[in-house]
Structure 1
């Protein structure tokens, strides 16, 4: 589908530069299903009222990935020049020659080329460059120069990597607010942003409404910041992301189907995980799995698992906006975005959210001839 279909005017001042004072204070645009009119039936609410817009018995699925303290600012050993390392994915963790070490894929930059053998130092942590991987990322080795705890040194040296559209330095509040309250499996380079709004109290209100809460894991990768530079989404290369769907979640979805309840995804990362895990032999169900996905969802995709979605407002001409348009209908979603701009909603990671139902196939608008399917 043409990328230009997913464009809209966004004033720069609507890009949120900081989170709201409290997670639940974010605004929530409730998008009505067709044929209701966006103009007369859409509701401007707050995330604190989310439970009121979730049908009793709904299975609510969150992403429990935890954002890495991936950004390390250090100096080059021997020269003292400044350098930056951005950890992307851990490849190995163990003991070699009696020393606890880790190997990672990473990005890096310095005033001069980072060659094999170059070491970047920050306090006790040493990052040694070993070469380049096939995917263009650096292969680096982490260890401590004094034998102290490697995990403690990495956590102390690293910063939470805020997205590039947040034009400020990291603050102490970001260490907490750029993580969800249910984050537990470290591995993402960006937060699953819809989940940032949820609090333990809000999750409890959902349970009191008879909803089940389950989690999956999808480690958000660098592709989330990769701009779309092609004219047609079919030509856009999707980065691989690791995800896990547990047997517990698979069973919970089966229970929801049995009782006729909806499956609600908190964020597009949950959509990507569940749709990648769909069971071809049992429509509407998922299989327990732990694998990579390159799924690209755009209008024309037939959703198999997710029925309802809470999501933040995404960048123009992005794969995430294409996913939301596939879910809710392109015309309806873009109308919701225009309303959000007019009503001064805040956009992107620290911004506000919307909730919407999946548009049934028979009322989908602008359906292209084909759409990408999950690729392992």
Structure 2
């Protein structure tokens, strides 16, 4: 206790309590978890994380890309203000264990690819059957129509969603035919023609998903065309090009037994003339120049070896006026789709996993399809 002043008073404004020593207080220390115990859950999970990374990531890195192949019949359409290619293609095999576990081994898909940029607007799965084909018949402003091995399929051009298919097409019902040969497109009337299981001919106007019976005269014209023997597919191959302005074009052996082949044009009267001096090795005509909507093509597409000693393949556009190559892209496939021609004269042909576009001036552009990410989602 503090002493008083000589006059017997405490210092001013102070009380005895002010000079008492503060109590000593030691707060209880929290329980400290040992570091190894805090790390134990992470250490237990680490082997599983490493295994998953090796199992899924490693298998993805060492696995080849799935096999992509464009099917025979591609088509053109417009989506909004964009010109697009409609490309049915096969995807065989997964890449990595994740895709093997969660993706279908076999798929047939339809991709809408912007012809100007190569962007994929949408990519829809059509089937997971091992052997299954789809052909683009026609497209309106809203819908596109496919003849498939499961019957007619109608898709929305905006997003690739299914509007109707098979017996779900109004007017076909249970009488639909699950075969591609039963469906054709009539450009004159802008209708999709269909053969029913009972032999009746039905018509579906563009941008409609309803089939109505055709009139007797139309039925008589289309009944023979909508048959299995008429719809038999002719595999694309090497053949003379028909429909080129001023006659036909074909490949002939070079004079004098020199290696390679040259392009020869046959005039309507039978006269033949060589087109340019270029020699192509192991060559074949892939597509003829095709007149479309008043436009005449002045080019042909030739598939050939790069040179006499290089067996790698290229596809080249050749001017029929000068014989010069106006565009060329490398290819890694020997399979080709049938060609599709747009109203402006642009021609498209599927080559393996790529669609090659030939502009009216002979320029070539390659548009790949089927690219996917780690999870197998189309990108």
The answer to which structure, 1 or 2, has the higher relative contact order (CA under 8 A, 6+ apart) is: 1
The normalised TM-score by structure 1 is 0.22
The normalised TM-score by structure 2 is 0.22
**Greater strand content:** 2
